[in-house]
Amino acid sequence: MAKTSLLIDQGNTRIKWVWARNGELEKESAGSGGFDAFQADCRSHGRLVPDAVLLSSVAGMEKTKPIAGFCASEWGVEPQLLESTRERGGVKNGYDLPGMLGVDRWLAIVGAVSRHGAPVVIWDHGTATTLDAVDENGQHLGGLILPGPETMLVSLRKNTKLRIPEILEIAFGAGASEPGPGVPPARATSGCISHGVLAAQLGALNQFLRNVTVQMSRQPVLVITGGAASPILPLLDFDYIHDPWLVFRGMLVGP
């Protein structure tokens, strides 16, 4: 592992990045934004030159090329474009065609096992919500994909005349009593919508756990990640680990 690495997660709408030294994330260096913000932040590090640049991208080559070009011109370092593989860090990809598993999702799975052990369930909240399970032998058991909380709200906003709450209101919902575990019925339309979205997310988790735990020798660790995870956390009345760094952790795991 290179002494100094720049880790880049290129999504469809924004870039996220963080520096690592000797295999450890320097969390205070993390940033996110567009390409201009990425360039400015990298140049703010002065003479710091990465020994390696690791790049995960789901955005396609059109958006990836400028990042690669910047790294080559700024430091003379060609980024290593990461892909989903049949095995990484002792985790065996459960897809029949391993390359079809999204690379960010794959790296989050690998990062979760590396950091938190197995068996493990990864519950990732973003534009989409994904659920993945790995048994105690490192075998990925497959997963589920459903619309994320905000995507559900956007769909309702687009296709109905209802007054839809913004994502920042979703945690407690208008018309609810005090926040607490579980999703109670609400007494206003906006609250019913936000509670319904949260209930759908929790219902998917419960269904997933019911199916995968019978394939494991013991109860899995639940690891929650993703930019849309925060509204979910106050509603949980069971043990979990919140780790927003899983994709970057997976990048640092060797093949």
- CA distances 12 to 9, 97, 246, Å, are 10, 23, 18
| 67, 35 contact by CB (below 8 A) | yes
Give me Rg for the CA atoms of the chain.
Answer: 19
User: Residue 194: is it exposed, middle or buried by C-beta count within 10 angstroms (0-12/13-18/19+)?
Assistant: buried
**3-state class of 73 per DSSP?**
helix
Annotated catalytic residue 104: yes
CA-to-CA distance for 129 and 40, rounded, in angstroms?
A: 31
Residue of 36, 51, 96, 104 with catalytic role? 104
Which residues are catalytically annotated? 104
